[in-house]
């Protein structure tokens, strides 16, 4: 039976099913089960795990998942964050610490509104959570279009992984229920193409910049981050990516480095 056009299991809703929760190297199976439950309570059922422990779906996880065993059992396992987010046109990373302005930052309610708006438009969205002990690395944050932070007591600012997922999932669910906040004007956009397409674009850009000896292949981490921020903000569509890569190829042809 459906209520007001909504499926009984809200996980079957096409908008909510475009949002995936990605856990990067979670170490405790109990937390993975707790995340599955937190998700299903809020109608989110796509769980992706990057390098989980061997017993990620074992007894400890199952006990915590309870009625969300299906979410746990259907979880995708990846060996790199890149593949877990490859189809997504919006990737938001949850961070317990406010980081430097190298990454755009959003309060959790605005992040949820942005994520839900993108899913409503038909885009795939990833909400990425870090390791229990050390969170997400700078390299992983570079793959995100913006960071989201849940305001907490500074004396104890880091939430348990499943609790952090619960708060974010609840905010997304409020949007789905129609209680959303307006999408942030402080975040000017994210690419309309998938993370996989954007990674191909960055590879091409940085290869060209090395070929013209603008940058040293081993250095320039900050420069690379700045370029990512710039192009993420631009919100490129596929046509624009094609034009820019066409320009890169023309430069490479002139340099004589195109195969």
| Cβ proximity to ligand SAH, 26 vs 193, nearer residue | 26
Q: Please, which residue, 132 or 199, has the CB nearer to ligand SAH?
A: 132
Give me the least distance between CB of 20 and ligand SAH, in Å please.
14
Q: Which is nearer to ligand SAH, 69 or 96 (CB)?
A: 96
Give whichever of 28 and 62 is closer to ligand SAH, judged by the CB atom. Answer: 28
**For ligand SAH, the closer CB: 38 or 150:** 150
Burial of 221 (0-12, 13-18, 19+ CB in 10 A): exposed
For the window 149-168, what string marks contact with ligand SAH as x by the rule CB under 6 A?
xx-x----xxx-x--x----
Residues of this chain, 116-145, that bind ligand SAH according to CB under 6 A: 129-130, 132-136
- Tokens (6 digits) for 156: 């104890």
For residue 66, what is the DSSP state? Answer: G
Give the tokens for residue 231. 């192009």
As beta bridge partners, residue 10 has none
State yes or no: residue 22 binds ligand SAH (CB under 6 A): no
CB 182 within 8 A of CB 227: no
- The partner residues of 97 in beta bridges, in order of sequence, read none
Main-chain phi, psi angles of 120, to 5 degrees: -65, -35
- The answer to whether the CB of 47 falls within 8 A of the CB of 20 is yes
Structure tokens at 165: 């997922």
Question: Distance between CA atoms of 230 and 157, rounded to whole angstroms?
Answer: 30
Of 7, 51, 86, 96, the one binding ligand SAH (CB under 6 A) is: 96
- Shortest distance in whole angstroms from residue 247 CB to ligand SAH: 37
Which residues of the shown chain bind ligand SAH in the complex (CB under 6 A)?
A: 94-97, 129-130, 132-136, 149-150, 152, 157-159, 161, 164
């Amino acid at each position: 039976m459906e209520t007001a056009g909504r499926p009984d299991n809200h996980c079957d809703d096409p908008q909510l099913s475009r949002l995936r929760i990605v856990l990067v190297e979670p170490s405790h199976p109990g937390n993975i089960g707790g995340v599955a439950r937190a998700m299903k309570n809020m109608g989110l059922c796509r769980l992706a795990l990057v390098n989980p422990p061997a017993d990620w779906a074992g007894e400890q996880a199952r006990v915590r998942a309870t009625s969300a065993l299906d979410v746990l059992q259907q979880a995708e396992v990846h060996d790199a964050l890149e593949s877990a987010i490859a189809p997504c046109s919006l990737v938001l990373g949850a961070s317990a610490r406010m980081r430097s302005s190298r990454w755009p930052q959003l309060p959790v309610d605005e992040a949820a509104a942005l994520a839900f708006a993108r899913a409503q438009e038909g885009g795939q969205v990833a909400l990425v959570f870090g390791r229990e002990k050390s969170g997400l690395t700078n390299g992983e944050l570079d793959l995100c279009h913006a960071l989201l932070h849940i305001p907490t007591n500074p004396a104890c600012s880091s939430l348990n992984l499943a609790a952090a997922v619960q708060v974010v999932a609840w905010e997304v669910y409020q949007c789905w229920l129609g209680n959303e906040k307006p999408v942030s004007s402080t975040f000017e956009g994210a690419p309309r193409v998938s993370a996989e397409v954007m990674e191909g674009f960055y590879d091409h850009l940085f290869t060209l910049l090395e070929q013209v000896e603008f940058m040293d292949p081993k250095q320039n981490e900050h420069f690379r981050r700045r370029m990512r921020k710039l192009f993420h903000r631009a919100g490129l569509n596929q046509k624009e990516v094609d034009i820019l890569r066409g320009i890169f190829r023309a430069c490479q042809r002139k340099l004589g480095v195109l195969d």
